[in-house]
A and B are shown apart, each in its own frame.
Chain A
Amino acid sequence: MKSLLMATAAATLLASAAMAEVKVGMITTLSGGGAGLGIDVRDGFMLAVKQSGRDDIEVVIEDDQRKPDIAVQLADKMIQSEKVDVLTGIIWSNLAMAVVPSVTAQGKFYLSPNAGPSALAGKGCHPNYFNVAWQNDNLHEAAGAYANTADFGKSFILAPNYPAGKDALTGYKRFFEGDISGEIYTQLGQTDYAAEIAQIRASDADSVFFFLPGGMGISFLKQYADSGVDLPVVGPAFSFDQGILQAVGDAALGVVNTSQWNKDIDNATNAAFVASFEAEYGRLPSLYASQGFDTANLLISAIGAADISDADAFREALRAANFDSTRGAFAFGPNHHPVQTIYAREVVKEGDVFTNKLLGTALENHSDAYAADCKM
């Protein structure tokens, strides 16, 4: 039952773990095909903990293998055996849905560094659940808003046939004012999009919106670029993060995508984060890394302001969000989800490295569509 214990760098061997005042359990994906995201969140989080110089934070990290049942058991383990105060780290919505309700029901805090399923933002919201990333619909809504400013009239939209995919298309349509010329649900994990691209070619669309996270997006973009269809494409940042872009290559150049973070957002915290992340790990940070970094800094700010054994005071300290975010201004809405600005960015090449450049603002101080349903 030996677990991967990563005490903070400042916690020397002499200052033993027994001195730790706050114990954090991180459940994230570190093996298999989706490991890149979990590794980024973990690295961003640990970087912030290290930079804080505090020796009273202990982080226990475990790999959920992207399996919901394993994630639930790890949460049980962290609460029952490790006696953690705060949990964080989950990447995928379906794992969050499995873990978060039971964690908050047991009186622990959960800080989400990535997933933001709508069920947890509306009726299922909870005072001990804080989302530091976004509500799932946010980036898609921003894509819809961007499509309006870009004067798209008819969009062809596609996403995988699972709940987050349906949320994506709903989110885009919520803000997009033009017509939908075609709507396709693809298979989850699909790798060949020739058939869908042929549909796009045959349609009368003037633009394409897609939500295909991870490897699915890589496949789609490469095949789309090779197909000769030259309609403009827009999508959320999940197919354009720093880890994936190098695998897409030229096919992604010039594509507009929406994100709440980019490495050239102009503030001191962000500049320091990008530089120190690159120095520490030898690669550029992704939005996932920024979310992990912000999550840790939120936690550290609350630890500084209140004692974790006083749950009400600690909750207030979290709600105040009194920390310097890599995104600039950051505040929580009534349902403990971010109210933040979402940007449009464009894929560019800097030297040999593909990365994103800010284009402009897609949605200013944006909350989410479910906040009104949240009663707490």
Chain B
Amino acid sequence: MTTLLIIEQVLNGLQFGVMLFLMAAGLTLIFGVMGLINLAHGSLYMVGAFAAAWVAGATGSFLLALGAALAAAAVAGVLVEMLVIRRLYRAAHLDQVLATFALILIFSEGTRWVFGSFPLFLDIPDALSGPVSLPGGIQYPLYRLTLIGIGLVVALFLWWLTARTRIGIQIRAGENDREMIAALGVDISKLYTLVFALGAALAGLAGALVGAIQSVQVGMGEPVLILAFVVIVIGGIGSIRGAFIGAILVGLTDTLGGIFLPELFKLFMEPGAATQTGSALASMSVYILMSAVLIWRPTGLFGARA
């Protein structure tokens, strides 16, 4: 295995990681500020992808499609927050789990109702298609490089938003003591709706960006949702920085594990069995990583509260 191949695989892991971050950031914000376990976050990802595919099909413009994804997911998020979630802030965690599970059912089959049972088409814009040559002679798809770039920009934006703006101060204060900031005159319910819309929009953006290189289909959100939960738990719930580092860790583990574990087993097993054992272990690697982190640090890498 050459160095070039290893670098290319690391890039792939990074790209997967930053896309997970887009999902995980919203999830961790919503959990940190509102204490809500939002299982329907994957559905917002799907809504973004379907909105993008539909608009791209109608207009042919990828930029419009991205805009539509952001808007559709944000609107869906606001509706969900105002119609359902708002009634559940005082309820037990488990009621929220059931409610957001019910939302998954409604979103998934509702989408199939509207768009049919077959996957939709969404393609990379021409300007970003095809590979480019990186220093050292690596051929790497331009679109994936763009994804890494967008992910990093969003991460910077979120850091700026939470650390440098008035809204960010309110969000952080809301994580610590929601009664207190309500007493200080912050409209807490407006803040919640805003945070929910922001998280939903990020999920929708991720859905549209990833949808262009994957399959836009019903149920596409659930596998990502589980991984996003893994990410925020590794990083420590409520921490944007934790979500970023967790996402990169998970992305790299998943990508590199799938490549290197079978090679590793080939050192002492016959190739066929090594490939199968290695692949089996690779599919478990992310979960092994998470349990190892939690056994070592029960509140994740950057988690504050128990």
The residues of A with any CB-CB pair to B shorter than 8 Å are 31-33, 35-36, 39, 161, 166, 183-187, 189, 191-192, 194-196, 198-199, 201-202, 214-216, 218-219, 222-223, 226-228, 243-244, 246-251
Contact = CB atoms under 8 A, between A and B. Distances in A.
B285 to A, nearest CB: 10
Given A31-B109, A219-B213, A226 B124 contact: yes
Interface string B163-184: 0000000000000000000000
A33 B9 contact: no
Most chain A Cβ neighbours within 10 Å, of B9, B120, B217: B217
22 contacts: A33-B218, A35-B112, A36-B117, A187-B283, A194-B12, A195-B13, A198-B5, A199-B259, A201-B139, A202-B4, A215-B119, A218-B214, A219-B214, A222-B212, A222-B215, A226-B129, A226-B130, A227-B139, A247-B118, A247-B120, A247-B216, A247-B217
- Ranked 5 nearest A-B pairs via Cβ: A228-B131, A215-B215, A218-B215, A247-B119, A194-B12
Contact of B144 (A194, A214, A247): A194
Contacts of A223: 141, 213-214
A195 B255 contact: yes
Contacts of A185: 262, 275-276, 279
Given A191-B214, A223-B214, 13 more contacts: A31-B112, A36-B117, A185-B262, A191-B210, A191-B215, A194-B255, A195-B13, A195-B258, A222-B124, A223-B213, A247-B119, A247-B216, A248-B121
A236 B143 CA distance: 28
Interface in B258-292: 258-259, 262, 271-272, 275-276, 279-280, 282-283
A184 B275 contact: yes
Q: Do most interface residues of chain B lie in helix, strand or loop, or is the interface mixed?
A: helix
Nearest to B8: A198
B279 A219 contact: no
Interface of B: 1-2, 4-5, 8-9, 12-13, 15-16, 108-109, 112, 117-121, 123-124, 129-131, 139, 141, 143-144, 210, 212-220, 223, 255-256, 258-259, 262, 271-272, 275-276, 279-280, 282-283
Nearest to B122: A247
Contacts of A246: 118, 121
B279 A187 contact: yes
Contacts of B255: 192, 194-195
B130 to A, nearest CB: 6
A199 B6 CA distance: 10
Contact of A243 (B118, B213, B280): B118
Given A35-B117, A194-B15, A249-B123, A189 B217 contact: no
Contact of A228 (B4, B139, B216, B276): B139
Nearest to A39: B117
Given A185-B275, A192-B16, A228-B139, A222 B259 contact: no
A228 B141 contact: yes
B283 to A, nearest CB: 5
Contacts of B276: 161, 166, 185
B143 to A, nearest CB: 6
B215 A226 contact: no
A215 B108 CA distance: 16
Contacts of B219: 32-33
Given A228-B141, A243-B118, A32 B280 contact: no
B143 A226 contact: yes
Contacts of B121: 246-249
B217 A33 contact: yes
A223 B142 CA distance: 12
Contacts of B258: 186-187, 195-196
A64 to B, nearest CB: 15
Contacts of A36: 117-119
Nearest to B255: A195
A244 B217 CA distance: 10
A83 to B, nearest CB: 30
A257 B5 CA distance: 29
A161 B279 contact: yes
Given A192-B214, A195-B259, A222-B214, A161 B283 contact: yes
A319 to B, nearest CB: 34
Contacts of A216: 215
A9 B255 CA distance: 53
Nearest to B142: A226
Given A187-B282, A191-B220, A194-B144, A218 B119 contact: yes
Contacts of A184: 262, 275, 279
A202 B141 CA distance: 15
